[in-house]
Amino acid sequence: MITSVLRTALALGLSLAMSAAAHAQSGAAEGQKLAFDRGKGNCLTCHEIKGGDLPGSIGPKLENLKGRYDRAELTAILNDETTRNPLTVMPPFGRNRILTEQEISAIVDFLQTL
């Protein structure tokens, strides 16, 4: 009896974890599309990003971000980098509604894979 309850709980936990992982993965794929899209994130205009064509060099190469910024910090950078650096040329994607909250979240998923 107890083992069957445990087994069910374990299976449930596992499937939840797997769907969370699948969700993060599809978010990252969507985020890459948005980041590379010249009419959306257009990040390649200024940043070199692994897998992206014809990058500009106005901003730093985007790499090893996961080790340096957590999710909230990356979201803040995308929302409005002028709060960190008032003189930045990076567009405030969230504040100016260039990207929706959902789009920014997907791009952050992608940035965390770099």
Query: Residues interacting with ligand HEC, by CB under 6 A?
Result: 35, 41-43, 45-47, 58-60, 62, 65, 74, 77-78, 81, 84-85, 88-91, 93, 107, 111
d(CA 17, CA 38): 34
Decide whether 24 or 90 has the Cβ nearer to ligand HEC.
Answer: 90
Residue number, 7 or 34, with CB nearest to ligand HEC: 34
Whether the CB-CB separation of 63 and 114 falls below 8 Å is answered with yes
CA distances from 98 to 34, 68, 78 (A): 11, 25, 10
Distance CA 43, CA 91 (A): 10
Question: Of 13 and 73, which has the nearer Cβ to ligand HEC?
Answer: 73
Shortest Cβ distance from residue 106 to ligand HEC (Å)?
A: 10
